[in-house]
């Protein structure tokens, strides 16, 4: 890459001059059901920062509920109807909470308003300048990168991000467990400041968002238990994009030039639209040198900025580029954005290097990753292969959700071409019906991998996987643990066994 030239073309800026806007949540007693989830816990912390009195309930105690209690938000694990606080003004329910839940029923009986998490988040966004990060992949990484850049540039955003990133002031640990949530209401709380949120397409929850600025990073088949087809997924993203206000009111959409079906999503939109990507016809062209992890942004053939990513991979380069452009939309200066990106240290469970241990003649490197979609798996394995050049790449992958595994079975089988060995535990059972649970299992994926010539086997429980890794791993190997369920425990136990007594 050549040296950076001064910026010539300046994007239109949004007026972010603070104007005091009182929050509708201030002073209200808000009870959050399913508060142990990433999104709802983050929302509780943010509402507390706005002056709301928050309580919560969750069926299962854990690191998140302990952290919430430590921060002054009482949490009960008894979810009977009688446990709903008498002084409650508003109930917010996680997407996982059924309509016949005892506390929901009690609230409706008493005439207390009940909102879903997504509805509450949308109301909160409407009080701010909302920035919504949407896409099948990369939401948490891009959102955390953006928040880090905005903080470093002095724009002090409020945010809810569904992964742990202590660098931006959120997340914590309780015992040995990470608390995978981030939420912050900065000094601009109560004023029309920035609010960055991930916009999840599951159950069409992102249709409740009220963004001024939005990103659509990519659009692929996922959550087919909800949508049934890629066509329906694309239409859902198109409906999300139609929520952005007109360009005259500051509305802006940044969408991937390739891989986001922009030709189907953008027609008829009244907001300003720009594209980004590796293609030279993108409004913002991304240039990436994988040998040194150097990333650059060009516009109309002119260099805007360049920086070096701390994590490898073309997909991470695109995430960082999107974060840079969104930060510019929000008022940050290009020359502040680049050094901020260079200091971003990553998000937990997103291609995270946990450490290494000596085993069977040398060092075995261990990574942990949240990837649970075929594209995420392929991108991560390819990036690790290129960056680390291991003798062997051993992947422990826990499929997440039976319906996703069944719908995308062939794509999953194709995604492990960069792995030498794949170990598959039981599929993580979440949200699906018992009937769905019996329609596919881990051995179905193992069989497909074996048919493609990939060394694969089904091992369970996690303890047995760690035992197996100790038998087969040798110096020069790289082990990556992947999945959205509790499979991360394998990585930590494997490293723990290598610690000196």
- The topology under which CATH files domain 127-157+193-342 is 3.40.1190
Do 127-157+193-342 and 352-496 share a fold? no
pLDDT of 485 higher than 60: yes
DSSP type of residue 427? P
| pLDDT band, residue 500 (cuts 50/70/90) | low
For residue 64, the model assigns a pLDDT of 80
The dotted CATH code for 29-115 is: 3.40.50.720
Per residue in 198-249, pLDDT (tens digit) is: 999 988 999 999 999 999 999 999 999 899 999 999 999 999 999 999 999 9
**Mean pLDDT (whole number) for 280-290:** 97
Tokens of 248: 């005259």
Model pTM? 0.86
| pLDDT band, residue 185 (cuts 50/70/90) | very low
Burial class of residue 388 (count of CB atoms within 10 Å of its CB; 0-12, 13-18, 19+): middle
Give the CA angle between residues 408, 413, 419 to the nearest 5°: 135
CA neighbor of 233 nearest in space, from 137, 298, 141: 137
- The full set of domain ranges for the chain reads 29-115, 127-157+193-342, 352-496
pLDDT of 160 higher than 70: yes
195 bridge partner residues: 130, 158
Cβ-proximal residues to 392 (8 Å cutoff; 6+ apart), any chain: 420, 421, 474, 476, 477, 478
Measure the CA–CA gap between 231 and 268, rounded to whole angstroms.
18
Give yes or no for a contact between 494 and 381, defined as CB atoms under 8 angstroms apart: no
Per residue in 42-84, pLDDT (tens digit) is: 899 889 988 999 999 998 888 788 888 888 999 999 887 677 8
> Where would I find the beta strands (DSSP E) of 94-181?
114-116, 129-134, 158-161, 172-174, 177-179
Report CA-CA distances (Å) from 16 to 95, 174, 188, 193, 325: 32, 37, 11, 7, 16
May I ask the CATH architecture of the domain 352-496? Alpha-Beta Complex (3.90)
Higher pLDDT, 84 or 166: 84
pLDDT of 20 higher than 90: no
């Amino acid at each position: 890459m050549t040296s950076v030239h001064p910026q010539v073309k300046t994007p239109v800026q949004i007026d972010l001059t603070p104007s005091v806007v009182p929050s509708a949540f201030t002073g209200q007693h808000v009870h959050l059901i399913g508060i142990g989830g990433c999104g709802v816990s983050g929302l509780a912390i943010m509402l507390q920062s706005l002056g709301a009195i928050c309580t919560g309930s969750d069926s299962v105690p854990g690191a998140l509920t302990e952290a919430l209690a430590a921060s002054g938000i009482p949490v009960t694990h008894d979810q009977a109807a009688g446990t709903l606080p008498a002084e409650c003004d508003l109930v917010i329910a996680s997407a996982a909470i059924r309509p016949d839940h005892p506390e929901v029923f009690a609230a409706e009986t008493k005439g207390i308003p009940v909102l879903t998490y997504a509805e509450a988040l949308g109301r909160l966004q409407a009080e701010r300048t909302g920035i919504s990060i949407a896409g099948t992949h990369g939401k948490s990484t891009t959102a955390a990168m953006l928040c880090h850049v905005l903080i470093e540039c002095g724009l002090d955003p409020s945010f809810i991000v569904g992964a742990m990133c202590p660098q931006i002031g959120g997340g914590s640990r309780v015992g040995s467990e990470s608390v995978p949530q981030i939420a912050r209401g900065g000094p601009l709380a109560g004023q029309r400041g920035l609010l960055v949120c991930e916009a999840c397409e599951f159950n069409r929850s992102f249709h409740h968002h009220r963004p001024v600025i939005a990103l659509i990073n990519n659009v692929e088949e996922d959550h087919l238990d909800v949508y049934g087809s890629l066509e329906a997924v694309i239409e859902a993203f198109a409906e999300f994009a139609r929520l952005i206000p007109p360009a005259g009111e500051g509305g802006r959409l940044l969408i991937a030039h390739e891989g986001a079906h922009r030709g189907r999503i953008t027609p008829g939109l009244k907001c300003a639209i720009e594209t980004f990507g590796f293609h030279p016809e993108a409004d913002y062209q991304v240039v990436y040198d994988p040998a040194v992890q150097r990333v650059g942004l060009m516009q109309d053939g002119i260099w805007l900025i360049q920086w070096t990513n701390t994590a490898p991979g073309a997909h991470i380069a695109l995430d960082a580029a999107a974060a840079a452009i969104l930060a510019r939309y929000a008022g940050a200066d290009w020359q502040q954005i680049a050094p901020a990106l260079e200091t971003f240290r990553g998000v937990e469970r997103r291609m995270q290097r946990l450490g290494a241990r000596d085993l069977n003649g040398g060092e075995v490197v261990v990574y942990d990753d949240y990837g649970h979609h075929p594209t995420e798996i392929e991108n991560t394995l390819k990036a690790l292969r290129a960056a680390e050049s291991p003798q062997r790449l051993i992947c422990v992958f826990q499929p997440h959700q039976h319906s996703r595994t069944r719908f995308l079975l062939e794509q999953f089988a194709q995604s492990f071409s960069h792995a030498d060995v794949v170990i598959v535990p039981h599929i993580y059972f979440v949200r699906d019906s018992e009937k769905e649970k019996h329609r596919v299992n881990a051995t179905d994926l193992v069989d497909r991998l074996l048919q493609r010539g990939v060394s694969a086997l089904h091992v369970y429980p996690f303890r047995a996987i760690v035992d197996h890794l100790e038998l087969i791993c040798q110096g020069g190997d790289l082990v990556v643990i992947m999945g959205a369920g509790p499979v991360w425990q394998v990585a930590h136990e494997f490293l723990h066994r290598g610690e000196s007594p």
